[in-house]
């Protein structure tokens, strides 16, 4: 009897642990990789930050139509490795993940870099950063970061702030763009006074998703483009349904941007920009609908296990009496 009760308690314990792990949900990316213009032979660093437990990251490089797992060694040298500089590789600081090329060469210009974050149960793909390598006579780009995404209710205030750090002694200017497709290749300059500010107030007058990009330029010529920031506007009456629809739209945009071939430079409506410009950046959002269903199913299963276990214990106790 004691062995049976102990075994049942163990089953319940394992079920609760499993439920807790799944209920935590998949990792959430809070900072997407940006797309700076790095001078040739400089140290190029790409950063992704995420929230979650027991996270790991695998970086992938798309080069000349093929995708390579940068952490997987194959026989011989991979085609892109000869241009990655003296060294390259992934590092991390807690839940901040980096990939760097120490001495990047111009032959990697146009490559695309992204990472997949995993926690043992779920995985989520980051946005795709464009690898842009310019002349070694140009200055280093500013370091920038923007929110991975912004969600607001219709009519409420929504702001995107671009945090930038200039190379020593240089002044920064900000230029804001919008893209209807979610691709960096299709950005159009915003003819608003706020274009030159480090932040922008987004239009939340309609339910749906709008996409914004910030370009930051240092006085020495260094330039960096932010990742595409989706601003998801939901209806106050039914925020959950609207949010899921908008996130689905973001996901479908990501798929189409990955499959399509884009031009060498983005189309800008009111202002041309100097130096090499990235071709596109994919937006990545979490579809929580499927995860919610899975979690509910796990809850139901665990409750059934508990109920059956309690029932068996009661029956055994009655028979023993």
Domain spans in the chain, listed from the N-terminal domain onward: 1-26+287-321, 27-138, 139-285
What is the CATH architecture of 139-285?
A: Sandwich (2.60)
Q: Count of residues for the chain?
A: 321
Cα first-last separation, the chain: 13
Q: Residue 141 has which token pair?
A: 């780009």
Residues 246-270: pLDDT tens digits? 444 444 444 444 433 333 334 444 3
Mean pLDDT computed over every residue of the chain: 79
d(CA 101, CA 83): 9
Q: How much is the pLDDT for 36?
A: 96
Angle between helices 288-320 and 239-259 (to 10 degrees): 120
- pTM here is 0.71
Radius of gyration of the chain (CA): 24
What is the CATH architecture of 27-138?
A: Sandwich (2.60)
Q: Residue 75 has which token pair?
A: 């026989």
Q: Residue 190 has which token pair?
A: 């915003």
Share of the chain above pLDDT 90, in %: 57
Residue 89 has pLDDT above 80, yes or no: yes
- Check if 27-138 and 139-285 are the same fold: yes
| Alpha-carbon separation of residue 52 from 1, 16, 28, 41, 45 (angstroms) | 41, 19, 7, 35, 23
């Amino acid at each position: 009897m004691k062995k049976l009760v102990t075994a049942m308690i163990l089953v319940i314990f394992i079920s609760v642990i499993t439920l807790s792990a799944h209920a935590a949900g998949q990792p959430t990316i809070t900072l997407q990789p940006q797309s700076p213009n790095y001078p040739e032979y400089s140290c190029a660093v790409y950063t992704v930050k995420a929230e979650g437990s027991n996270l790991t990251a695998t970086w992938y490089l798309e080069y000349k139509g093929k995708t390579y797992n940068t952490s997987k060694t194959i026989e011989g040298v991979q085609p892109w490795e000869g241009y990655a500089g003296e060294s390259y590789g992934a590092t991390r600081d807690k839940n901040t993940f980096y990939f760097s090329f120490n001495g990047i060469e111009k032959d990697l210009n146009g490559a695309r870099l992204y990472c997949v974050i995993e926690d043992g149960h779920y995985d989520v793909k980051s946005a795709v950063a464009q690898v842009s390598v310019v002349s070694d006579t140009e200055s280093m780009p500013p370091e920038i970061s923007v929110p991975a995404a912004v969600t607001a209710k219709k009519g409420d205030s929504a702001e995107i702030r671009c945090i930038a750090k200039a190379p020593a002694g240089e002044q920064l200017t900000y230029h804001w763009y919008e893209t209807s497709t979610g691709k960096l290749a299709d950005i159009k300059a915003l003819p608003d006074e706020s274009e030159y500010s480090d932040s922008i107030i987004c239009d939340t007058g309609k339910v749906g998703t709008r996409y914004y990009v910030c370009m930051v330029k240092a006085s020495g010529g260094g330039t960096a483009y932010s990742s595409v920031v989706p601003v998801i506007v939901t209806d106050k009456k039914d925020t959950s349904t609207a949010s899921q629809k908008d996130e689905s739209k973001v996901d479908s945009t990501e798929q189409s941007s990955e499959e399509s071939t884009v031009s060498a430079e983005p189309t800008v409506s009111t202002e041309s920009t100097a130096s090499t410009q990235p071709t596109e950046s994919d937006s990545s959002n979490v579809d929580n609908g499927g995860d919610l269903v899975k979690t509910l199913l796990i809850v139901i299963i665990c409750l059934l296990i508990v109920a059956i276990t309690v029932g068996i214990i009661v029956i055994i106790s009655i028979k023993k009496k």
